[in-house]
Structure 1
Amino acid sequence: MAGHSKWANIQHRKGRQDAARSKLFSKLSKEITVAAKMGDPDPDKNPRLRLAVKEAKGQSMPKDNIDRAIKKATGGEGDDYEEIRYEGYGPGGVAVIVEAMTDNRNRTASTVRSTFGKNGGNLGETGSVSFMFERKGEVTYPVDAGDADTIMLAAIEAGAEDVESSEEGHIIYCADTDLNEVATALEAALGESDSTKLIWKPTTTTELDLDGATKLMRLIEALEDDDDVQRVTANFEVSDDVMEQLGAA
């Protein structure tokens, strides 16, 4: 099993997502406010805001929180945030991309660099690892949205590029610039998705043993614990056996 999405599954089994719900909502609110400030406060007229709201709903964020985040932008409240991407290597030579949103570039850069160093990683220059990823749109649906053939047909008609179906659900990929249109078409055919977002999809992966995976997870946890960090992506791969051991730890 590969990628950071699998780590999210481990977190869920450990109950970490419940413990981090407040922090998650804070980060989602920040993205909604920034998206609303950069464009129209109406999600129907602002693709980025529409995706941010959709992702918040997918994470069960209350409607009041979403509305409050949009009003912050329209009322001129909230800090002016800068979007920054950091790239580096984690334990085992795994490529790591950190997407941050900050009102203090120096503070965030210092914290991210320190977190990499304290957890067996090294922060690199911009572009040092992103060549090992592709920027893609990702739409996910639960298993009961339809069988693999049904999902594939809907994805093709919507203009998607690829579909991965498993017992955990369906993941549909498309060009990053097509995400809003593809997600809208899929919603018309299949109903509401579980998640719709832009991702960094690894084009190559690094396999880790239990020790390496444990160390990498420690780095990812530490990075995601930073309020300025919006999301972390890593191109690791682990066997089902290692995944089970991590989940049971």
Structure 2
Amino acid sequence: MAGHSKFKNIMHRKGAQDKKRSSLFSKLSREITVAAKMGLPDPDMNPRLRMAVNAAKAASLPKDNIQRSIDKASRSDAETYEEIRYEGFGPGGVSLIIEALTDNRNRTATNVRTAVAKNGGNLGASGSVSHGFDRMGLINYPAGAGDADTVFEAALEAGAEDVSSTEDGHEIWTANDSLHEVVKAITPVLGEPEGAKLAWRPQTMVEVGEGDAGLLFKLIDTLDDDDDVQTVWGNYEVSDEVMEKLG
């Protein structure tokens, strides 16, 4: 959550989930099944499925699990998942967008509302905070993909709109309807990305102090523990000093 890395401040890092591998694998598998069901079951012909498979591979989801998730989409008894977005506020006035895939809307709504209320936040109506974010495509590469100039030039040539590079890696932002085209153009130059998905990029950031940051992270961790919740976005920024105090 270091202040020098904007992306790690708007999407909660999945590092905590590494300790909860089964939960992470469940989320990845669910996204693969949904993507396969919405289009062709071939990653080469289905951009969303290709992104989901690449994300699963990056998280070391076994190949057999990936194939089972794809095959599951064509089964008559496969669950039907619904994409839902919740919007609201967290500690310190932070705006949050919570994306979920669920087969039970009532269960997910209750769980999300409870998690937010118990950790210093409150849910708002649809559109209550998303107006403060831009819907964009986001492509992630590790630092080893190249230096900042190399990645910037490759991204610009591929049609990206913005690039942010730190010692942790590279974040390439695209127009939301250009994500798949940019990934296709940049892959031959930089290789397969670590991740590529539609994202919510905040227009302004909120600096969060030590007290609110601890509660905010607890809220996000609670949401991450819910198998229905896929991603939590927010416009929070936490300094290195505060992160060190929180341990």
TM > 0.5:
yes
CA contact (8 A) 1:3 1:234 kept: no
- CA deviation after TM superposition for structure 1 residue 219, in Å: 0.7
Partner residue of 1:5 out of 3, 8, 12: 8
Q: Which amino acid aligns with 2:8?
A: S
Report the alpha carbon displacement of residue 8 of structure 1 after superposing the two structures with TM: 4.7
Between the aligned partners of 1:213 and 1:146, the Cα distance in structure 2 is 33
Aligned residues of 2:83 and 2:99 also touching (Cα < 8 A): yes
- Deviation per CA, 1:217-238: give whole Å up to 9, x if none: 0111111111111111111011
Where 2:73 maps in the other structure, the secondary structure is helix
* 2:226 matched residue in structure 1: 226
The answer (yes or no) to whether the contact 2:84–2:99 under 8 Å persists in 1 is yes
Equivalent residue letter for 1:5: K
Q: How many Å apart are 1:18 and its aligned residue? A: 2.7
CA distance change for structure 1 residues 17 and 106 in 2, over 3 Å: closer, same or farther? closer
More helix by share: 1
Residue 186 of structure 1: aligned partner: 186
Which position in structure 2 is the counterpart of 1:130?
A: 130
Q: Is the 8 A contact 1:3 1:235 kept in 2?
A: no
How far 1:162 moved relative to its partner?
A: 0.5
* SS of residue matched to 1:60: coil
- 1:22 paired with 2:22, answer yes
Two-structure CA RMSD over aligned residues (Å): 1.5
TM-score by length of 2: 0.93
Q: What's the CA shift for 1:46?
A: 1.1
CA deviation after TM superposition for structure 1 residue 26, in Å: 0.3
Over residues 90-112 of structure 1, what are the superposed CA-to-partner deviations in whole Å (9 max), with x where a residue is unaligned? 01110011101111111111111
Look up the match of 2:108: 108
User: 1:185, CA displacement in angstroms?
Assistant: 1.2
Match of 1:203 in 2: 203
2:176 maps to which residue?
A: 176
Number of equivalenced pairs: 243
Decide whether the 8 Å contact of 1:139 with 1:193 is kept in 2.
Answer: yes
Please say if residues 51 and 195 of structure 2, whose CA atoms lie closer than 8 Å, have aligned partners that are also in contact.
Answer: no
Q: CA offset at residue 4 of structure 1?
A: 6.4
Contact in 2 for aligned 1:139/1:196 (Cα 8 Å): yes
TM-score (norm 1): 0.93
Q: What SS class does the counterpart of residue 174 from structure 2 fall into?
A: strand
Q: Which amino acid aligns with 1:131?
A: H
In the alignment, the residues of structure 1 paired with residue 46 and residue 32 of structure 2 have an alpha-carbon distance, to the nearest angstrom, of 11
The 5 Å alignment of 1:19-98 reads 19-98=19-98
CA displacement at 1:138 relative to structure 2: 1.1
The alignment partner of 2:213 has SS state of helix
Q: Using the alignment, how far apart are the partners of 2:225 and 2:39 within structure 1?
A: 29
Distance in 2 between residues matched to 1:3 and 1:218, nearest whole Å: 20
CA contact (8 A) 2:97 2:233 kept: yes
Q: Is the Cα–Cα contact under 8 Å of residues 101 and 229 in structure 2 kept in the other structure?
A: yes
Partners of 2:17 and 2:224 within 8 A in 1 = no
Q: Which amino acid aligns with 2:184?
A: T
Counterpart of 2:218, as a letter, is R
The superposition leaves residues 155-178 of structure 1 with CA deviations (integer Å, 9 ceiling, x where unpaired) of 011000011111111111101111
CA distance in 1, matches of 2:186, 2:225: 33
Which sections of structure 2, spanning at least 5 residues, go unmatched? Answer: none
Question: By how many angstroms is 1:144 displaced?
Answer: 2.1
State the Cα distance separating 1:5 from its structure 2 match: 2.3
Q: Matched residues in 1 for 2:151 and 2:18: separation?
A: 30
